[in-house]
C-alpha cells in the first residue's frame, strides 16, 4: 500500500488554477513569479510564465512543481525579458500533468504571438475539440483551455480582440483569463463570473502606472499593488499603451460567483467580490454555532482552513478556542511504502493531536467541508486517542452532494460521502458523537444575503444543490442526475 504525504491530498475540493499578469513594468516576469507564489494555494502541480519584450518577442518558461522551484533560478528569470508578462499555476483536472499542458498556452498567429492562462473549466470543450479536430486543428495538449487557441486561429475576424471575443462566445463554462499579445494585456471573466479576477495598479519608475491582473487580491499585496476593482462578470479589459479599455460583449445576466471561494478556496487575506474572506469565514462559523450549538469545553479547528470558522464559532458560543490539532507545515510531496504498522502514518504526518488541549474534554471540531470523509475519520480517531471525552463535528459548508464542473477538482458523486449517506450515517462512519453542517440558508445569511433567492440564487452553489447554472454540455448524464436531489446509497 502507498500513502501519499502530498499536503494537498487531504480530502478537500481543490482550486484548479491561479492567474497573474503584469503590463508596463521593468520587472514584469519577476512580479508574475511573486504573484504566482502568492497564488500557490490555487495550484501546486505546475507553473508557467510568458513574457513579452521589444519587437513582439515572447519568452516562455514552464515547469512541473512549485513556483519557487521553477522560478527560483536567476538564469531562468533573466531569460524572461520584457515589460509585460502573464503566468499561471495549475492543479491538473483536465489533461494529465505533463509539460505540454502547463499554461500559459502560447501560439504564433498571423497577427503575432498570443499567450493565455485560464482559471476555470469549460463545459463544452470536448464537443468543440471534436469539431475543431475535424476541421484540421492539431491539438498539442489535452487541456480544455487549448480550444481558446484554435477558436482564435479559425476566427474570421481580423482584430485579435474581436477574435478572442468570437472564441469566448462559443465556449461554455467558467473562465477567468489572463492573455498577452504584442500590444496588450487582456483579462476576461465568463458572463456569470464564477471564478475571481481582480485588477490592480502600481506606480512605476517612469511615473506611469503598471497594471496587474490577478486571481486574488493577496497576489496584489505581495507585489505592493493597489486593488483597483474586480473584473466584472462578462467583462474584457484590454490594457495597452493608451490605457485600459473595458469591453462588455455579452448580454448582462445575474452573476453566480463560486460560494466555495468564501468557504475554502480563496486565501483568508484576500478580498473577493468586495468581501474579506477571513471575516466571512468567521461569520460563517458564528452562524454555524447559532444553528447547531452543542455543550462543549473546547472548540478546535481542523487546521489550517477550519481556523477562521472555528474562531467565529467559539466567539459566538462563548467556548474557548484552542489549537487541539497541530499541523506540520513541512510535509513534502514524497511517497512512502509503509508497512501495516505505520499504515495510519499519513494523517499523522500532517496533523498531530495536542493532548493537553483534548484530554477529558468535550470537543467541537470545526472543519470547512467533508468530501469523502476519509481524512475526517482519521482526525476524529486521533482526537479520541488523545483522550477527548466527546467529539462533535461542525462543518462550515452545507453537505457537498454534487461534483463541480467549473474549475474545481472534485471526485464523482459516488465518492462524495454526503451524496451517498444521511447526516446520521455520516456521523457513524466518521465516528463522531454528533455532526452538523451549516444550512444553505445560513451560509447565505452569513454572506450578507437575506437567505438564498431560489429564483435567482446570488452565488454558484451547485456542489450543495445540483443547480448547475451553466449547462454541462460534455456531461449530459451529470446534468440529468443533478435534477435528482439524492442518490441512493450504492447507486
Ligand atoms: Fe464553486 Fe461548487 Fe459552483 Fe464549483 S459547483 S463553482 S465549487 S460553488
Go through the domains of the chain in sequence order and give each one's CATH number: 17-255 (3.60.20.10), 277-480 (3.40.50.2020)
- For ligand 1, say whether the CB of 371 is within 6 Å of any of its atoms: no
List, as own/partner pairs, every contact residues 35-38 make where C-beta atoms lie below 8 angstroms and the sequence separation is at least 24, other chains included.
35/87, 35/212, 35/214, 35/219, 35/220, 35/222, 35/223, 36/67, 36/71, 36/87, 36/88, 36/89, 36/219, 37/67, 37/68, 37/222, 38/216, 38/218, 38/219, 38/221, 38/222, 38/267
Longest dimension (CA), the chain: 72
pLDDT of residue 5: 37
Q: Which pairing describes strands 14-15 and 17-23: parallel, antiparallel, or unpaired?
A: unpaired
Which residue CA neighbors atom 4 of ligand 1 most closely? 404
Q: Is 260 in the pocket of ligand 1 (CB under 6 A)?
A: yes
For the CA of 402, the closest atom of ligand 1 is 5
DSSP count for the chain of H helices, then E strands:
18, 27
- What is the whole-number distance in angstroms between the Cα of residue 163 and the centre of ligand 1? 29
- Cα dihedral across residues 222, 225, 227, 230: positive or negative: negative
Q: Note if 17 is an active site residue.
A: yes
* Residue whose CA is at the smallest distance from ligand 1 atom 3: 460
User: Do the Cβ atoms of 86 and 180 come closer than 8 Å?
Assistant: yes
Minimum-distance ligand 1 atom for the alpha carbon of 461: 8
C-alpha of residue 427 to centroid of ligand 1, in Å: 24
Q: Cα of 269 to ligand 1 centre, how many Å?
A: 20
The C-alpha cell at 169 is 462566445
Q: 216 CA distance to ligand 1 centroid (A)?
A: 17
CA angle 263, 265, 271 (to 5 degrees): 80
Q: What is the pLDDT of residue 203?
A: 87
pLDDT for the residue numbered 339: 53
- Tell me the C-alpha distance between 116 and 141, whole Å: 14
Instruction: Calculate the alpha carbon distances from 246 to 234, 236, 260 in Å.
Output: 10, 6, 28
Show the cell assigned to 139.
Answer: 491539438
- Is residue 404 within 6 Å of ligand 1 at its C-beta? yes
User: What is the atom index within ligand 1 of the atom nearest the CA of 258?
Assistant: 1
448 CA to centre of ligand 1 in angstroms: 19
Would you say the CB of residue 463 lies under 6 angstroms from ligand 1? Answer: yes
- CA pair distance 378, 365, nearest whole angstrom: 13
Distance in angstroms (rounded) separating the CA atoms of residues 483 and 463: 13
Q: What is the pTM of this model?
A: 0.92
- Nearest-atom number in ligand 1 for the CA of 256 is 3
pLDDT averages per 10-residue partition of the chain, 491 residues: 42 80 97 98 94 96 95 97 97 70 96 96 96 96 95 96 98 98 97 98 84 98 97 98 96 95 95 94 98 97 94 98 90 50 62 95 97 93 97 98 91 92 97 98 96 93 96 84 50 32
Alpha helices (H) in 329-451, listed in sequence order: 345-350, 355-358, 374-385, 417-420, 423-430, 440-446
Amino acid at each position: 500500500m502507498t500513502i501519499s504525504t502530498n499536503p494537498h491530498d487531504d480530502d478537500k475540493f481543490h482550486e484548479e488554477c491561479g492567474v497573474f499578469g503584469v503590463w508596463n513594468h521593468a520587472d514584469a516576469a519577476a512580479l508574475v513569479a511573486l504573484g504566482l507564489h502568492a497564488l500557490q494555494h490555487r495550484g501546486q502541480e505546475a507553473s508557467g510564465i510568458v513574457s513579452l519584450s521589444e519587437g513582439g518577442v515572447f519568452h516562455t518558461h514552464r515547469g512541473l512543481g512549485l513556483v519557487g522551484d521553477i522560478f527560483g533560478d536567476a538564469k531562468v528569470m533573466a531569460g524572461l525579458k520584457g515589460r509585460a508578462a502573464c503566468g499561471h499555476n495549475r492543479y491538473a483536472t483536465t489533461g494529465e500533468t505533463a509539460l505540454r499542458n502547463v499554461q500559459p498556452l502560447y501560439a504564433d498567429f498571423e497577427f503575432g504571438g498570443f499567450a493565455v492562462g485560464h482559471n476555470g473549466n469549460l463545459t463544452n470543450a470536448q464537443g468543440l475539440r471534436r469539431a475543431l479536430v475535424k476541421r484540421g486543428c492539431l491539438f498539442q495538449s489535452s487541456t480544455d483551455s487549448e480550444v481558446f487557441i484554435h477558436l482564435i486561429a479559425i476566427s474570421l475576424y481580423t482584430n485579435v480582440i474581436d477574435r478572442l471575443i468570437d472564441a469566448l462566445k462559443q465556449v461554455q463554462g467558467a473562465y477567468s483569463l489572463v492573455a498577452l499579445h504584442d500590444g496588450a494585456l487582456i483579462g476576461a471573466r465568463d458572463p456569470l463570473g464564477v471564478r475571481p479576477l481582480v485588477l490592480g495598479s502600481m506606480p512605476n519608475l517612469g511615473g506611469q502606472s503598471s497594471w496587474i491582473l490577478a486571481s486574488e487580491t493577496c497576489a496584489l499585496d505581495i507585489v505592493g499593488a493597489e486593488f483597483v476593482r474586480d473584473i466584472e462578470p462578462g467583462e474584457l479589459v484590454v490594457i495597452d499603451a493608451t490605457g485600459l479599455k473595458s469591453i462588455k460583449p455579452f448580454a448582462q445576466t445575474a452573476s453566480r460567483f463560486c460560494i466555495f471561494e468564501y468557504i475554502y478556496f480563496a486565501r483568508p487575506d484576500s478580498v473577493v467580490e468586495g468581501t474579506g474572506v477571513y471575516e466571512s469565514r468567521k461569520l460563517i462559523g458564528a452562524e454555524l454555532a447559532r444553528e447547531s450549538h452543542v455543550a462543549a469545553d473546547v472548540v478546535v479547528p481542523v487546521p489550517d482552513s477550519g481556523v477562521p470558522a472555528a474562531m467565529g464559532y467559539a466567539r459566538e458560543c462563548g467556548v474557548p478556542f484552542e489549537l487541539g490539532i497541530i499541523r506540520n507545515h513541512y510535509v513534502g510531496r514524497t511517497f512512502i511504502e509503509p508497512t501495516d504498522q505505520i499504515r495510519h502514518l499519513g494523517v499523522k504526518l500532517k496533523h498531530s493531536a495536542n493532548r493537553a488541549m483534548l484530554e477529558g474534554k468535550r470537543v467541537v471540531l470545526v472543519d470547512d467541508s467533508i468530501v469523502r470523509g476519509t481524512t475526517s475519520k482519521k482526525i476524529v480517531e486521533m482526537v479520541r486517542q488523545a483522550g477527548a471525552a466527546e467529539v462533535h463535528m461542525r462543518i462550515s459548508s452545507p453537505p457537498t452532494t454534487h461534483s463541480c464542473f467549473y474549475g474545481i477538482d472534485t471526485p464523482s458523486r459516488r465518492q462524495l460521502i454526503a451524496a451517498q449517506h444521511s447526516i446520521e450515517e455520516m456521523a457513524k462512519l466518521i465516528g463522531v458523537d454528533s455532526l452538523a453542517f451549516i444550512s444553505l440558508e445560513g451560509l447565505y445569511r452569513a454572506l450578507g444575503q437575506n437567505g438564498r433567492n431560489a429564483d435567482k440564487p446570488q452565488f454558484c452553489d451547485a456542489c450543495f444543490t445540483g443547480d448547475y447554472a451553466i449547462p454541462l454540455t460534455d456531461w449530459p448524464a451529470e446534468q440529468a442526475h443533478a435534477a435528482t436531489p439524492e442518490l441512493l446509497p450504492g447507486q
